[in-house]
Structure 1
């Protein structure tokens, strides 16, 4: 399974750091140039619909969020073009000493499971799927863990993700978590052997939103959230544990 690292071409220090980590572990990879919102590259590639974002998310996406979605969208397209599974990374990760073992385990199972996450930002309830070697476990999330720092995807999984991503109305990690929409279950190998760098020290990080939703925006977001809760519950009941 090939690895690609999504990274802005101008972020040379970040590229050097991630390259050194892969090299130290004897892992090969290719850079996939991220869509650079600072250069308005996201505009020509975007499938973003601001009206839909306001209706669903209660706020417009930032240029950086649109660029991030476009970058992962490009990675899914690459997976299909190459007709091979890919391990996809963002360049703000730190690899643990046993990460190569986890990557090998994911590579041996990705065709069956279509999407295997190697990191998630939040702890969520999971269902045990398989006991793996070296103390690792394959699990399925009942609720997506948020984050696109690292995951593996098969061509079949990439096609499913692309099929429902014709219109972008939320950040890409939120979209990845909506498995009831694109039918790609959210699975992971735990414990993680990868962590996210501190956002405070990263130049070019998307960062947090500068304002809270109020009024109608807050209502729209809460309505979408509750709709998701029901859709997720129904999907989990119908498709659990596969």
Structure 2
């Protein structure tokens, strides 16, 4: 089981914190250098489609969000090249005490559930069990988006499908990964979660949520597109 931690090479403090956490948990891992969006012409930046994002969402993605997407994309490529499932963590992940044991159990089922999220949803969601792991944990799915890419297991097949559906980058990677109508990959989760986002300052921030200079017709289009995706989500349950 190979574990990769996405982290900017210059994020010395975050790397030190993750090294400490994973060492204490007796987990072998490798740092994967995240795409640095502060560098002009960073990998995959040419795939951004700000005009589509603005039309559908009312905002454009930050370079850091595109860089985050690119970082995951490059690890999907690595997963396909290795032709074996991998575990991907971000460097702000906090681990539960049973992280290692439950990760080991969940990893055994990656051929059945090709994309398994390890982190918790932002808000409480109704959870449906698909496979019991222990008396307390199960793999299942939520009825609504759970956001975040703090930690997950991915198979080569799921990685390949994500790659093929990423010709354009129009939304944050965590939103994209939970839209099976785009890539035919269903998101599963382990519950209760075994990792979560640490309470540290985000390198992305919330600026993209600010919608400026949006006219009435664009607001209507944004709402119509939102309902369209709700309908697609219903069809792909």
Return the TM-score normalized by structure 1.
0.90
| Residue equivalent to 1:117 | 117
CA shift for structure 1 position 112: 1.4
Give the SS at the match of 2:68: helix
Deviates more, 1:126-135 or 1:2-11: 126-135
Deviations 1:137-182 (A, max 9, x none): 1111222201111111000110111111111111111101112221
| Residue equivalent to 1:148 | 149
Deviations 1:32-56 (A, max 9, x none): 1111112235366541112221222
| Residue equivalent to 2:127 | 126
| Residue equivalent to 2:24 | 24
Contact between 2:35 and 2:43, CA under 8 Å: does it hold in 1? no
| Residue equivalent to 1:206 | 204
Cα distance in 1 for partners of 2:151, 2:218 equals 31
Give the SS at the match of 1:212: coil
Contact between 2:114 and 2:155, CA under 8 Å: does it hold in 1? yes
Cα distance in 2 for partners of 1:167, 1:112 equals 28
Equivalent residue runs for 1:86-125 within 5 Å: 86-122=86-122, 123-125=124-126
Give the SS at the match of 1:113: coil
| Residue equivalent to 2:168 | 167
CA shift for structure 1 position 111: 1.5
Deviations 1:82-109 (A, max 9, x none): 1111110110011111100121122100
2:75 matches 1:75: yes
Contact between 2:120 and 2:195, CA under 8 Å: does it hold in 1? no
Write out the 4+ residue segments of structure 1 that deviate beyond 4 Å after TM superposition: none
CA shift for structure 1 position 131: 1.5
Deviations 1:23-72 (A, max 9, x none): 11111111111111122353665411122212222221111111011111
Contact between 1:47 and 1:168, CA under 8 Å: does it hold in 2? yes
Say if 1:205 and 1:40 are closer, same or farther in 2 by CA, change over 3 A. Answer: same
Structure 2, unpaired ranges of 5+ = none
Structure 1, unpaired ranges of 5+ = 237-242
Cα distance in 2 for partners of 1:219, 1:40 equals 35
Which structure: greater helix fraction? 1
What is the aligned-residue RMSD (CA, Å)? 1.7
Say if 1:144 and 1:44 are closer, same or farther in 2 by CA, change over 3 A. Answer: closer
Contact between 1:59 and 1:217, CA under 8 Å: does it hold in 2? no
Give the SS at the match of 1:87: strand
Contact between 1:54 and 1:217, CA under 8 Å: does it hold in 2? no
CA shift for structure 1 position 17: 0.3
Contact between 1:4 and 1:89, CA under 8 Å: does it hold in 2? yes
Equivalent residue runs for 1:33-48 within 5 Å: 33-40=33-40, 42=42, 45-48=45-48
Contact between 1:87 and 1:150, CA under 8 Å: does it hold in 2? yes
Return the TM-score normalized by structure 2.
0.92
| Residue equivalent to 2:136 | 135
Say if 1:127 and 1:13 are closer, same or farther in 2 by CA, change over 3 A. Answer: same
